[in-house]
Structure 1
Amino acid sequence: MDERIQAVDVDAEIARTHREEWTMIVAGLVRRYGDLDIAEETAAEAFATAVQRWRVDGVPPKPGAWITTTAHRKAIDRLRREARRDDKQTEAFMLQDDSPAEPTGFIDDDRLRLVFTCCDPVLSVQDRIALTLRMVGGLTVAEIARAFLVPQATMGQRISRAKAKIKAAGVPFTVPEREDVVPRVAGVLAVLYLIFNEGYFASGENVDPIRRDLTEEAIRLARLVRALLPSDSDEDAEAAGLLALMLLTQARSDARLSAGGELVRLDEQDRTAWDRQPINEGIALLDERLEACGRDIRALGRYQLLAAINAVHATAPRAQDTDWAKIVALYNALERLDPSPIVRLNRAIAISEYDSPDVALAIVDQLGEDLDGHHAFHTTRAELLSLTGRSDAARGAYDRAIELAVNDAEITHLMRRRDEVTTTHHTDGITTNEGETA
């Protein structure tokens, strides 16, 4: 086989294995050794070893198993090197034992246990999110830093401190008992939502714009979390709302990219390509909750409202049939719960469709101080400026959005939209974000 082709195949297989099996590998290592640092670092070392070995020996029949075995050996070697006392040395040798591990909770799922470990209340909410994105989502420190709009070095230190705090507090690698789940579920849901969003709108250069491994894993874990919660609780209602939101969003994946790899806006998507099965499941989950609260949207939680917004899009046969009055009402309810700049930005987009771009632009311009470093702000502003005929300002806003964007498919889309402004301003809508918040 040609060496260049072999190298490309190896790189592709390593990327696939990392994308699809990182979480399971790390979670298994944490279960065995009880240490986040050892798990992450030895898994990373095993992947680095694969880069060298597979180019010589070829890709093994079971790449994930090869990585796992290599990581286990590296973990044992590390513990042996670090052993300073007889009991520590004995512990290192005992780690070669392949007997089943002790029970680690009433749900037998390593990945769910890893989520709850990373989301322990000993950490701040921001640290829980960052650590879970690294350990469960497999995102690089650079990718997480971009999501938080902080320097990479700062994020690296934050994640290191979070792991150290988990270790110092002796946080167990376990799913909490049922009575202890409820106080921690809000943080877990927030993290699962961010993992899903990263999969549905992946950051970084030369990566798949849509990472189904992350979106499908977030959906799977959301189902497991629901199984832990009392069926008549507010927490279960929000978990159901998050699951519905994920399903309704995931249903559009096949229509979200053009054949050339460009992002396709919601209003331009081929709705016959939407997957009806997750749409139907998501709407059924949402309807169940709406019936329970007498269809009073004021009783809905954040994820339920976001799911309801997506349901309006999912049930419109054509973009022009969208009930924008209902979407504005849902965003009004969401803003009362979460008056964040991102929610206000999304509400302005809905107002542009329901009322006018001028009214929406006045709202968006008030958000500049908070969202100047957020590409969605400049994208929205560019679209609104274009709709109101201010082409020069629109091109400048597009340039800023392109500078800040981290998804190749969106960058391609923004460049085309900017170039179109050169000759004429747009006369269509600006449904750029599919009713999502980040």
Structure 2
Amino acid sequence: MRKPVLTIFYQYNPWQSTIGGIQSLINTFIKFAPDTFSIRLVGTGADNGQVVGQWHESELLGRPIQFFPLFTLLDDNVRKLVPTTVRYTAALLSKTLQSDFMHFHRIEPTLAARGWLGDKTLFVHNDIPQQMSSAKGAKTILWQQFPQLYFWLERQLMEQFDQVLSCNSASTKFYQQNYPSMVNRIMDVRNAVDTSCFKPLAPGPYQQAKQQLLDRLRLKPSTRLLLFAGRLHPQKDPLLLLRALAATPPESDIHLLVAGDGDLKSEVEQAIEQHNISSRVTLLGAVPKEEMVTLYQVSDVFVLSSRYEGLPIAMLESLACGTPVVTTDCGQGPSLLTSESGLVVSQREPQSLAQALVTVVDNPQRFTPEACMQAVSPHSAQHVVEPIYNSMLQRWHVSQANS
């Protein structure tokens, strides 16, 4: 019997430095896919010789895959005049790329898939009601300005999915209430983290790696490192984080590392100058995965200042590396944290966030690597990915027996 084929649809190129939890999750699903499946990825092209509009035999994370670039996109970290999702959907409309299983991580591209045959799954990555609320900040996404149009489009597309998997319980409840005929197809799913890659360092290598980083950045040995990783985007609200950093006392020796790029880069640079914290911030830009692992491992605290979230992959990666988290009260993250693995800031204002950051860096004996790893253990890739593939394989055998 031939292998079932899974085709994953998302607007990125896995061989480029790309920022985003969706990309990380897709890579995890590819890396941990069982050999019983053939894996295809429909993404975007880079300046690497891959011909746009053709299938390419490739290898990703030690796994053979077929890759189909729809169009060339040299930097997916910054929004363009025409949104990337619109370009991706438009390019997909002229194609027929159906397969036995199809995974979608945005709903718009499924306009092209309505007539395709196969088992379709939609992954929901955000708290959709909060994401669509203009009260969460202007211009976080374009759809926020046209919510009625978005939900109309969603109603036209939802029934095609065999499964809707949401990492956010509020979104799961929202969809179950709005699509009662699909209630048995809409369910929670944990986001996954590759704990074979994201894990703490032993004390000796930890001290060596941290000192090397501090030396490279010309920082004092006593410096406590705060890490932000993600797009410089209104959803992530890095400007709130910068105001919080400015509210921490200089003698706290806190230095912020910003691993990311995006639309707010110029505003971030201006805010750093405005708050006179240029000596306390290092902008790293987009960081390759291998370097991100080290940053997680040697940082004293990871921070999320987001307006809304689903369940951030970056939070899982940090906890898996033994690094505690400070987060604003949004998404599924706060329910994951324990009192020994991080703090949740209920008030979205700089002083509260600053106080939480100082509390964590001043009390390493309270926020331990062991507690962080324990909090994230249910999200290890093996626990999350294997049951999903097993369920797919069972559905595949049933469909083959009935055909």
TM-score (norm 1): 0.27
Bigger fraction of residues in helix:
1
Larger radius of gyration: 1
Bigger fraction of residues in strand:
2
TM-score (norm 2): 0.29
Q: Which has the higher contact order (CA 8 A, sep 6+)?
A: 2
